[in-house]
Amino acid sequence: MPVYKAPLRDMKFLINDVFDYPGHYQTLASGENATPDIVDAILTECGRFSEEVLSPLYQSGDEEGCRLENGDVITPKGYKDAYNQYVMGGWQGLSAPEEYGGQGLPASMGLFKQEMMGTANWSFSMYPGLSIGAMNTIFLHGTEDQKQTYLVPLTEGRWGGTMCLTEPQCGTDLGQVKTKAEPQADGSYRLTGTKIFISSGEHDLTENIVHVVLARLPDAPKGTRGISLFIVPKFLPTDDGAVGERNAVNCGALEKKMGIKASATCVMNFDGATGYLIGPENEGLECMFTFMNTARIGTAIQGVGPAELSYQWALAYAKERRSMRALSGKKDPEQVADSLIHHADVRRMLLTQKAFAEGGRAMLYYAAKLADHMVEAYAEGDEKKAEKYDDKLGFLTPVLKGFLTELGNEAANLGVQVFGGHGYIREHGMEQIVRDTRIATLYEGTTGIQALDLLGRKVLLMTQGGAVREFTLKIANFARKHLTSKPLRPMAVELLKLTAQWNVLTVRVMLAARKDRDVVSAAAHDFLMYSGYVSMAYMWLRQAAVAQDKLVHGGDESEAFYQTKLATAEFYYERLLPRAQAHATSMLSPTRHLMQVEPDNMAFTG
């Protein structure tokens, strides 16, 4: 059975050497207890839990799946015990405020934890992951009474959380939400409606589930400006915070899915369920974006995780499996054939997976530092500072979610390809990674939606290209520092060219969109992918720069580790980064190539 090994060596390289998290934590109030020794101990223990508890349940959970019995969802064998161990370990409250039962560590520590657990077993990690989003939403937008009632049991992991947005008639277009919320004399509301695709909507892991629900008040304006946000618990809390009577919210069905079968994806029916308004009336979508952005960054991990997991298993197989002889001559002359690892095309696939996993991890860890500053500012009540970091993170969020999940899908499929026919067989686990990963480009907004958010909203509408100019200036300043380094100069020069091109492309799309609004939608996907490849190139230059310095001055890792980092960076620049130019060409293509065929003429059947 395939097993997962936490990539602690690479994680610590990024945390300690590339991004200097020890120094970063010293600037944060929440970082006081995040000393190098504590961080190392947490990472090690999380790695152990992921390897020994969660990874063994990955394939068995997929085989068994969840089942619905009389309205109750039963999770696969071993999940409840694993969740109890998760709760006992205090993992849910790792980055939660101490006043509500958390450990008060920086938000980035939660991301490191989530990466390992999610890579080991994504279906399992979705249960506590959805709770994190509910916790963040209540913390930022709830009243003090709501915080006291819900945050403590959510932080302890005794209660779970969900977000209920999608309805049968609407997914991304939340302006079509029909769920109603009728005000009651006691200040509560009665919610009626149906929500679909609700992850963790019903399960047997926690004693209560807190649903965060979008609904409309009776006099609400039409469209997205008329949506409010509500807390709807499965069981109504008593005055002393205990679990009370059952609320009128039930699971009507379990979705039959392509993957993540051990994660309960539910149809939830609200039949006059008691709910409580969170945030201002008719501003629910703005409040829900706290939850959605949390989920989108979490989903970006589902791009890195499958690349890492598929790479680990494909690498092990490529070393053991023998087939034919290498074109450059026998590598294992005493054997009947050479190992797959000696074939250049197999190396191409493995290095692509490695470059995506380690480059994507760096992108996430870079963003996590911004998240730390943003969360700290919100906690301190410094709205101006919080908005500054929120804007920086907001620009990167669609790139992280859209780009990394697309690469995760590619890497997972490459893993199947390395295995050949055996990759198509369930017992090896490779096809499960593909099935589980496919959802990542769809939920929390498809890649197309992320692309429109990036280009249409973050770049053109909100900043008129300013977000690109600010980020590329940072990249260019870093690249210039390494123009005199012989090993790094080719990469630095290429990156400088790309930062200039990124700005030119932004202006050209902006000007074209003034004449043809379809340009934004037509160019958005290519713009997002281009942005992702350049952003990852920046991360690989940062890793290469540290590796080169360690080779010259000595480092904690073996020389082979740093040499491999440099080699992988060079592979990325030579073999993968050229894809950016194809996206650059495509995004400037006229929209007539997309729009000239009439819808009725797009199919010729019968």
User: Which residues contact residue 222 at a Cβ distance below 8 angstroms, ignoring those fewer than 6 apart?
Assistant: 175
Q: How far is CA 104 from the centre of its chain?
A: 22
pLDDT for 373:
93
Over range 325-345, report the average pLDDT: 91
Tens digits of per-residue pLDDT, 160-177? Answer: 999 999 999 887 777 789
Over range 111-116, report the average pLDDT: 97
β 235-237/72-74 pair status: unpaired
pLDDT above 90 covers what percent of the chain?
A: 84
Round to whole Å and give the CA distance between 450 and 452.
5
The answer to whether the CB of 262 falls within 8 A of the CB of 309 is no
**Which of 115, 308, 444, 494 is labelled catalytic?**
444
Q: Element (H or E) spanning 23, and its range?
A: helix 21-26
Select from 270, 236, 243, 230 the least CA-distant residue to 143.
230
Q: Fold for 287-446, please state it.
A: Butyryl-CoA Dehydrogenase, subunit A; domain 3 (1.20.140)
The answer to whether the CB of 333 falls within 8 A of the CB of 287 is no
Look at residue 73 and tell me whether its pLDDT is greater than 70: yes
Note the maximum CA span of the chain. Answer: 84
Exposure string for 5-29, b = 16+ CB within 10 A, e = fewer:
ebbbebbbbbbbbbbebeebbeebe
Residue 200: helix, strand or coil by DSSP?
A: coil
Round to whole Å and give the CA distance between 194 and 199.
14
CA distance between the termini of the chain: 49
Look at residue 330 and tell me whether its pLDDT is greater than 70: yes
Look at residue 351 and tell me whether its pLDDT is greater than 70: yes
Over range 355-360, report the average pLDDT: 98
pLDDT for 491:
98
Taken in order 336, 339, 344, 346, the sign of the CA dihedral is positive
pLDDT for 187:
96
pLDDT for 605:
63
Strand segments (E) across 105-188: 159-164, 180-183
Q: Which residue has the higher pLDDT, 423 or 593?
A: 423
Q: Which residue has the higher pLDDT, 63 or 136?
A: 63
Tens digits of per-residue pLDDT, 558-569? Answer: 899 999 999 999
The answer to whether the CB of 148 falls within 8 A of the CB of 138 is no
Over range 508-522, report the average pLDDT: 94
Q: How confident is the model at residue 323 (pLDDT cuts 50, 70, 90)?
A: confident
Tens digits of per-residue pLDDT, 448-485? Answer: 999 999 999 999 989 999 999 999 999 999 999 999 99
Over range 538-552, report the average pLDDT: 97
Assign residue 101 a region (left: φ > 0; alpha: ψ between -120 and 50; beta: otherwise). left
pLDDT for 175:
75
pLDDT for 214:
94
202 is catalytic: no
Q: What is the DSSP string of 11-22?
A: HHIIIIIIS-HH
Tokens of 81: 């015990």
How many C-beta atoms lie closer than 10 Å to residue 379's C-beta? 16
Tokens of 573: 């620049």
Round to whole Å and give the CA distance between 336 and 151.
62
Exposure string for 78-117, b = 16+ CB within 10 A, e = fewer:
bbeebbeebbeeebbbbbbbeebbbbbbbbbbbbbbbbbb
Tens digits of per-residue pLDDT, 187-221? Answer: 999 999 999 999 999 999 999 999 999 999 999 99
What does the angle CA 546 – CA 25 – CA 308 come to, to the nearest 5 degrees? 55
What's the mean pLDDT when you consider all of the chain?
94
Q: What is the DSSP string of 284-351?
A: HHHHHHHHHHHHHHHHHHHHHHHHHHHHHHHHHHHHH-B-S--TT--SSTTSSS-BGGGSHHHHHHHH
Residue 457: helix, strand or coil by DSSP?
A: helix
Over range 291-309, report the average pLDDT: 84
Tokens of 466: 């300013």
pLDDT for 171:
74
Tens digits of per-residue pLDDT, 280-291? Answer: 999 888 887 765
Select from 237, 228, 277, 270 the least CA-distant residue to 252.
270
Round to whole Å and give the CA distance between 603 and 601.
6
Contacts 24+ apart (CB under 8 A), 475-483: 475/499, 475/534, 475/538, 476/500, 478/538, 478/541, 478/542, 479/538, 479/541, 482/541, 482/545
Look at residue 292 and tell me whether its pLDDT is greater than 70: no
Select from 107, 76, 80, 156 the least CA-distant residue to 371.
107
Q: Which CATH architecture has domain 56-89+121-282?
A: Beta Barrel (2.40)
What does the angle CA 136 – CA 140 – CA 145 come to, to the nearest 5 degrees? 100
pLDDT for 494:
98
Encoded amino acid at 432, one letter: Q
How is the chain split into domains, by residue range?
Answer: 56-89+121-282, 287-446, 451-593
The answer to whether the CB of 492 falls within 8 A of the CB of 541 is yes
Select from 527, 507, 516 the least CA-distant residue to 594.
516
Residue 265: helix, strand or coil by DSSP?
A: strand
Rounded to a whole number of angstroms, the CA Rg of the chain reads 24
Look at residue 46 and tell me whether its pLDDT is greater than 90: yes
